[in-house]
Amino acid sequence: MKNLLLLLLLAFMVSCKDDRPDEPLSQDEGKYRNGESYRISAGDQAINLNILKIMESRCSSGVECIWHGYAGVKFEIGIGTETFTDSVFTPGYPHMKLFNTREFTVNGKTTSVTLKDVTPYPCYQCKNIPPKQEAIIEIKQW
């Protein structure tokens, strides 16, 4: 009887599985420029990413500020037949509704967009003209 219960318990534990994989099906972390569109391959699904606007309000290096501010990206993402427009910020301030990561679910698959950084960092009295801003964004799908 003990062996039967142990066998049933073992069979139950083996049959339970998490539908969410340990690793994302696909992952992309890249640099994206303001006003440009990108097509990202995500497993069997293509993702279209359009950077609508890069927002910069961080305190410049070499300047003392009361608040260090944030950088943000307004984007449009097309997943399958769905299109979403949203924004992500670094650092995130959830109490101000400024989120670092946004998730979208289409046809049972979740896609997350996380803003890692915006380069270059603002510089006070820089001698050179700064290069075009780029958003470093991580996209995962599971």
Q: For the chain, 142 residues long, give each residue's pLDDT as a single digit of tens.
A: 555 444 444 444 444 444 444 344 445 568 888 888 898 876 667 789 999 999 998 988 878 888 888 999 999 999 888 999 999 998 878 888 889 999 999 888 899 999 999 988 887 777 776 678 899 999 988 8
Q: Give the pLDDT of residue 44.
A: 66
Q: Is the whole model's pTM more than 0.75, yes or no?
A: no
- Alpha carbons 99 and 72: distance in angstroms, whole number: 9
Domains along the chain?
A: 25-141 (2.60.98)
Q: Quickly count: other Cβ atoms within 10 Å of residue 47's Cβ.
A: 22
In this structure, what DSSP letter does residue 89 have?
Answer: E
Contacts of 120 (CB under 8 A, 6+ apart): 130, 131, 133
